[in-house]
Amino acid sequence: MDEDKAMVIFQPSGRRGEVPKGITVIEASRLLGVDIEALCGEKKVCGKCVVRIEDGHFEKYGIQSSISHVSPWQEEEEKFINDEHREKGFRLGCVATVQDDILVFVPEESRAGKQVVSKAARDIYIEHNPAVKLYYVEVDEPTFQEPTGDFERVCRGLEREYGLSDLTIDIFALRQLPVALRDGKWAVTVSVWNDKEVIRVRPGKLDRTYGLAIDVGTTTVAAYFCDLTTMEVVDTVSMMNPQCKYGEDVMARITYHMTTPDGLKRMSDDIIEGVNELINKAVENTYPPKKKKKKKKGEDGPAEMVEVPVEGKTYLRLGIEDIEDITIGFNTAMHHIFLSLDPEYVGMAPFPPVLHHSLDIKARDLGIKINPSSYMFVLPIEAGFVGADNVGVLLAEEPYKHEENQLIIDIGTNGELVLGNRHKLISSSCATGPALEGAQIAFGMRAAPGAMERILIDPETKEVDYKVIGREAWRKYSDPKEMKAKGICGSGILDLLAELYRAGVIAKSGVFNKKALKEHPRFRKNPDTNQPEFVLAWAEESSIDKDIVVTQKDIRQIQLAKGALYAGCKLMVKRMGLDKVDTVKIAGAFGTHVDREKALIMGLFPDCEIEKIQGVGNAAGDGCRAALLNVKKRVEANWCSRNVEYIELTVESTFQQEFMEAMQLPHMTDKFPHLEGLVDEEILHQK
Amino acid sequence: MDEDKAMVIFQPSGRRGEVPKGITVIEASRLLGVDIEALCGEKKVCGKCVVRIEDGHFEKYGIQSSISHVSPWQEEEEKFINDEHREKGFRLGCVATVQDDILVFVPEESRAGKQVVSKAARDIYIEHNPAVKLYYVEVDEPTFQEPTGDFERVCRGLEREYGLSDLTIDIFALRQLPVALRDGKWAVTVSVWNDKEVIRVRPGKLDRTYGLAIDVGTTTVAAYFCDLTTMEVVDTVSMMNPQCKYGEDVMARITYHMTTPDGLKRMSDDIIEGVNELINKAVENTYPPKKKKKKKKGEDGPAEMVEVPVEGKTYLRLGIEDIEDITIGFNTAMHHIFLSLDPEYVGMAPFPPVLHHSLDIKARDLGIKINPSSYMFVLPIEAGFVGADNVGVLLAEEPYKHEENQLIIDIGTNGELVLGNRHKLISSSCATGPALEGAQIAFGMRAAPGAMERILIDPETKEVDYKVIGREAWRKYSDPKEMKAKGICGSGILDLLAELYRAGVIAKSGVFNKKALKEHPRFRKNPDTNQPEFVLAWAEESSIDKDIVVTQKDIRQIQLAKGALYAGCKLMVKRMGLDKVDTVKIAGAFGTHVDREKALIMGLFPDCEIEKIQGVGNAAGDGCRAALLNVKKRVEANWCSRNVEYIELTVESTFQQEFMEAMQLPHMTDKFPHLEGLVDEEILHQK
């Protein structure tokens, strides 16, 4: 490497590249197309551009990163970064200059382009029967004649009033009991878990308690913050999975564990810290907006739930101890890493998990900071590559209650498939990779402002039109300088492939149609990689001062993803002895944004009537929420995890052939004659 | 106070006094009659005299103690005290000199006079049915056809082989599972708690597991270290309760909590650290004697249980993780403090405890370091002043299974009484204070070498003869210079009172018989306190270079104790509508060593046939052991705690009168004519 240059990798985006030594981290971010918040224009006064310089050897990137690889600490940083954070490697991006290779983590709050998250939870029917319920009880004061202990006194009241018997109490709740009883003048509200264990005691009469349903994806962590009494979704909070820096997919993280002595601990600590941040975020959002203030680390929020009237509206001030239940789902590898279970064997044939069954774990045993006596319900998992997230999808969609055959597809970094009906369900996974979500694509990005989400290519001129998130207008109706495109997000990916094909830019095999593109200004060879690429947006239209391109490798990634998905679906349909499926449900953000017609045409999954294709949103999260609000769903979850038959597709003899075929772009189908122009026979025969 | 003097208090003995500033801690200990080990003769080379200078304000003694109140750290100390201990205030007693008031804790290992502990556990019948059982299971390796997860695979085996179903697993045990299964080539030994929860997984076939039955007294903590498979008592370990520095009795400790902001935390932390030390001691003792080495703090012992042959004998090398179960009993205040439950209300009428019921608590939740997934079973308590220790006594003695009426007396710092049979049981407590155990007596001490345990006084000459622990011969058959008496222990106390009375040194009311003692060299007024005292051993016979005396205040303390005990027993017998009891059982060290005849004569408890008086040793500890080895005893314990009726004696109208009467020394009884000389009528009428 050039001695005057250093490798800089930004996380969680994964953007990387060499930059001249001596420039600031902010300058490097701009060179590499990463947006870091800098309200003050790098005058070192706003403190918005806080980043963390990671410490360690990152084999995947072949670099050693260290806080000593940036310039020394400056006095200006003290105002924004406390000692604890300073020790963890936090710096101001506008102050620290690059001296050697570094891996830079950009915290959520320092990212300029906030992710667009669909806030509203889907309206699925859930019976109200939470694991944590509140009971109010009044008891007599002890006397010499009746000096029975506090707990037995309360139990007697709970049995008399509510028929609860044989209750136990967690030691942390027991410590609250004597003071609460006396503060409440012998009247308390107790939180009881599963009608078995007392997990909180508060003085007086209270009627609110809260819970979180958390869906931990390989890339994103999202949570529904619910009122357990009213079932209302108070808020939806999300963040990037902080483990992204160890690798973008599950295999990379398993490898990180196997090659790094404390790799598992690091990854586990990071996601636990992440979940705690998410909890704090949920709680902080309940603060009245006027009084909202950034909480310092270590502060546990106010001791009591207080109703605060602000501008005529009443706000609840909650503390983390007001969260009394959590349900959480993951794919199997994320599940194991979160729980510090050795994930090695999940990554090795025949991929047995350490356990399938759900777990009730005291949150404190994992370092999760909520009400200290509370449990987390960890959803059960189906198999090595079909995890608790898929159980969540099943809980939300309930295919086991219907006669029609449903194919449910959850496209995340790994594709998970379920097929069947009330009589039989089979599941499988396919290594789609994250390409369909916009990752591992040269200019792929999250669904954030500036992301291209719709693309059109003129078959004649091969000129490109597009629409970015954050602006209603298409490019051709806008001043290019105002479009500020930054990359392509998941929902734009399938559009892109279909349009490239329809416009004759690529052939059925996926290769660029060199003949048609000859001397076209948008088609060129990248001078560094010598790979062909096609320009989607010129530097002047972009917010990162670079041409946004799609490369031959990108197209190959998308083809691999769609091929894996199609082949997986097809083999499952075959295995079930079906000709076609009745319904196709697509979970995840991809399902919400995808153009169903184009997905069908491009051969993402087997034939199905177009009106029978549904996006079901964050079904995994909805399933977690169902388990949070209805304890019977937890039993159902375990039933699902053991009664869905897992099929390992890669060992099927025809898998390889199906996969190769499915990678090709499809022939015209007679079903959709209006899309006749989609195949350019001329291109098909160019080779 | 004299400016050249400082107050020095030694713990756990409680010895205190002013000493000249500038002398070493060892020199101060000698002045105050505390023996600290000093093998090298204070040459600073043996490191045996390590003591800890406590930090804080000790209201009880009215002093502020601080490590800065002794001379600065010396280089010689580094060899014996590591940095961690140095920070905690540890110093060498022969190096540190007294500069100001200090409270000095003398650790068990630095005490010259080791306590005499009855090692052998009593031979009581216990059915073998421990809560933690081992199961060996072999399973098939996972395949593509059968990729079931590790835990479900093992559960299937356990159900097939042993009929165990619906098992859960602790997260810490779950983390051991994947590696143990592969290390053991798909054969593992699992430890299952209550046939419900897997708490440990080890590769291969193993047949041993261990547990501790711990009895936490106000003054002493003792534990039986048991093999759960063979029921064998491997060892008995004990130590002083490290909370002694906060106060000698439970009321003093409750007061410490109420007057010191972090008092409860301090006391709780200390006893938990103490229990951890006891656990380490038990485990270390299993090391082969030749290889025995002091473990450094933080080392968790060897990872595996290894059998080590030394000189033809096989030793087990255990680690703390080999302790898989603990049962623990306390009096109510110690119970609350150990669990960090507010003990305030236990000390305030009507004395309701926070709870009665037993608790199964993960040891890790309390900071107790054993097998990380293991539980502690905390015995249930009966009432505010009749704790889990009394439940232990009941479990060992089982009065509820017999027709005869038993009176069971447990004399500790607080006296606990149970009376009844299979039809009815009542319990109570009486504030005996610790005098009968030798505490709060000017020269009282533990049952250690040098303690006077038998005393005889010649009625004619009023000359004293005695026997000390550690020498078979009586004083008059020994060279006085070789007797080295140090104080009076519990078993000597009752002898002392009876002999003082029999010899006419004191009258029925307990006051010294001034007429008979006129000009006797052993009778004098203490020049400092102006109180009369009687010399039992001259300075030349003592190891502390001081006359050992009994004061008028001492006699009053003993009378108060015996009065409280007798009045309590009498009122209970009355309450049960009995004339007399069939059996009297005396638990604790006092019961083992007391002269039954003298106890009866001196009126310690109501009339009973002398052969029906039994010492039952450490019955509380035996009860804990029964609960450790037989899980059914745990159910029985909860039954006991709720079915023994607690009687608050102090509210009985006749209590005060009974108590006053019982404080008097008794008239001659016709039952024991051979003890005719015990009452000197002349003395009785001196007033």
For A531, the enclosing helix (H) or strand (E) is: none
Q: Is the pLDDT of residue B433 over 60?
A: yes
Mutation for A interface: B139, B171, B190, most A CBs within 10 A: B171
| Closest to A440 measured CA to CA, from A553, A572, A351, A360 | A553
pLDDT, position B340: 97
Distances (CA, A) of A188 to A69, A158, A163, A165, A319: 56, 11, 17, 17, 19
Distance CA B62, CA B598 (A): 40
Distance CA A27, CA B549 (A): 86
Q: Where are the alpha helices (DSSP H) in A576-680?
A: 588-593, 596-601, 619-629, 632-643, 655-663
Q: Which residues have CB under 8 Å from A598's CB, separation 6+?
A: A494, A495, A498
pLDDT, greater one: A439 or B620: B620
Closest chain B C-alpha to A50 CA, distance in angstroms = 36
pLDDT, position A72: 92
The residue of chain A with its CA nearest to that of B642 is: A148
Q: Is the pLDDT of residue B606 over 90?
A: no
- Six-digit token string for B121: 């556990």
Mean pLDDT of B174-181: 97
Cβ-contact A368, A275 below 8 angstroms: yes
Is omega for the bond preceding B350 within 30 degrees of 0, making it cis?
yes
- Could you tell me the strand order of the sheet in which B487-488 lies? B464-468, B451-457, B487-488
Q: Tell how far CA A252 is from the center of its chain.
A: 17
Q: Which residues have CB under 8 Å from B49's CB, separation 6+?
A: B25, B26, B36, B37, B38, B42, B92, B93, B94, B110
- Is B177–A147 a contact, with Cβ atoms under 8 angstroms apart? no
Chain A CB contacts of B386 under 8 Å are none
Distances (CA, A) of A225 to A77, A169, A178, A283: 34, 26, 30, 9
Cα four-point dihedral sign B640, B642, B644, B649: positive
Query: Of how many residues is chain A composed?
Result: 687
pLDDT, position B480: 66
Chain A CB contacts of B365 under 8 Å are 171, 364
Partner-chain residue, chosen from B148, B175, B339, that has the shortest CB–CB distance to A352: B148
- Is A142–B342 a contact, with Cβ atoms under 8 angstroms apart? no
| Closest to A374 measured CA to CA, from A202, A134, A237, A211 | A211
Q: Is the pLDDT of residue B116 over 50?
A: no
Closest chain B C-alpha to A215 CA, distance in angstroms = 20
B658-685 confidence digits (pLDDT tens): 888 888 887 544 444 444 544 444 444 4
Q: Which residues pair with B137 in a beta bridge?
A: B188
- Six-digit token string for A212: 């979180």
Distance CA B390, CA A268 (A): 46
- Six-digit token string for A481: 């300088």
Distances (CA, A) of A85 to A53, A272, B465: 11, 17, 73
Closest chain A C-alpha to B645 CA, distance in angstroms = 11
Cβ-contact B385, B407 below 8 angstroms: no
Closest chain A C-alpha to B175 CA, distance in angstroms = 5
Residue A153: burial class (beta carbons within 10 Å; 0-12, 13-18, 19+): buried
Buried b (16+ CB within 10 A) or exposed e, B87-97: eebbbbbbbbb
Chain B CB contacts of A169 under 8 Å are 355
B266-287 confidence digits (pLDDT tens): 999 999 999 999 999 999 877 6
Q: Is the pLDDT of residue B60 over 80?
A: no
Cβ-contact A73, A110 below 8 angstroms: no
Distance CA A69, CA B612 (A): 84
Chain B CB contacts of A353 under 8 Å are 149-150
Q: Is the pLDDT of residue B310 over 70?
A: no
- Six-digit token string for A573: 């349909």
Chain B CB contacts of A363 under 8 Å are none
Chain B CB contacts of A358 under 8 Å are none
Tokens 């499915």 appear where? Answer: A662
Q: Is the pLDDT of residue B218 over 80?
A: yes
For B661, the enclosing helix (H) or strand (E) is: helix B655-663
Q: What does the DSSP 8-state code read for residue B475?
A: G
Chain B CB contacts of A152 under 8 Å are 355-357, 642
Tokens 């997000």 appear where? Answer: A489
pLDDT, position B136: 96
Partner-chain residue, chosen from A142, A351, A383, that has the shortest CB–CB distance to B352: A142
Q: Is the pLDDT of residue B1 over 70?
A: no
Report the range of poorest mean pLDDT among B121-125, B366-370, B622-626.
Answer: B121-125
- What is the rounded average pLDDT for all residues in chain B? 85
- Is A147–B350 a contact, with Cβ atoms under 8 angstroms apart? yes
The residue of chain B with its CA nearest to that of A341 is: B175
Closest chain B C-alpha to A25 CA, distance in angstroms = 40
Closest chain A C-alpha to B89 CA, distance in angstroms = 28
- Is A152–B355 a contact, with Cβ atoms under 8 angstroms apart? yes
Distances (CA, A) of B450 to B48, B132, B488: 20, 43, 8
Chain B CB contacts of A355 under 8 Å are 149-152, 169, 174, 177
Distances (CA, A) of B95 to B431, B462, B534: 42, 44, 37
Q: Tell how far CA B647 is from the center of its chain.
A: 25
Mutation for B interface: A341, A377, A643, most B CBs within 10 A: A341
- Six-digit token string for A682: 């001329």
pLDDT, position B39: 60
Tokens 């025809």 appear where? Answer: A654
Angle at which helix A552-575 crosses helix A490-502, to 10 degrees, equals 100
pLDDT, position A309: 54
Segments in chain A below pLDDT 50: 114-120, 290-305, 668-675, 677-687
Partner-chain residue, chosen from A354, A366, A384, that has the shortest CB–CB distance to B147: A384
- Six-digit token string for A599: 């997905």
- In three-state form (DSSP H/G/I as H, E/B as E, the rest C), the secondary structure along A227-267 is ECCCCCEEEEEEEECHHHHHCCCHHHHHHHHHHCCCHHHHH
Q: What does the DSSP 8-state code read for residue A505?
A: S
Question: At residue B248, what is the residue type?
Answer: E
- Is B171–A359 a contact, with Cβ atoms under 8 angstroms apart? yes
Q: What is the pTM of this model?
A: 0.80
Closest chain B C-alpha to A539 CA, distance in angstroms = 51
pLDDT, greater one: A604 or B324: B324
pLDDT, greater one: B129 or B305: B129
Distance CA A342, CA A249 (A): 17
- Is A149–B341 a contact, with Cβ atoms under 8 angstroms apart? no
| Closest to A415 measured CA to CA, from A441, A445, A389, A392 | A389
Cβ-contact B50, B107 below 8 angstroms: yes
B558-579 confidence digits (pLDDT tens): 999 889 999 999 999 999 999 9
Q: Which residues have CB under 8 Å from A198's CB, separation 6+?
A: A154, A167, A168, A169, A170, A173, A174, A190, A191, A192, A373
| Closest to B178 measured CA to CA, from A264, A540, A395 | A264
For A199, the enclosing helix (H) or strand (E) is: strand A197-203
Chain A CB contacts of B151 under 8 Å are 354-357
Closest chain A C-alpha to B290 CA, distance in angstroms = 35
pLDDT, greater one: A357 or B46: A357
- Is B147–A366 a contact, with Cβ atoms under 8 angstroms apart? no
pLDDT, position B593: 74
pLDDT, position B405: 95
CA torsion, ordered A315, A321, A325, A329, to nearest 10 deg: 90
- Is A179–B342 a contact, with Cβ atoms under 8 angstroms apart? yes
**Residue B315's pLDDT band (cuts 50, 70, 90):** low
Q: Is the pLDDT of residue B352 over 80?
A: yes
Distance CA A490, CA B6 (A): 78
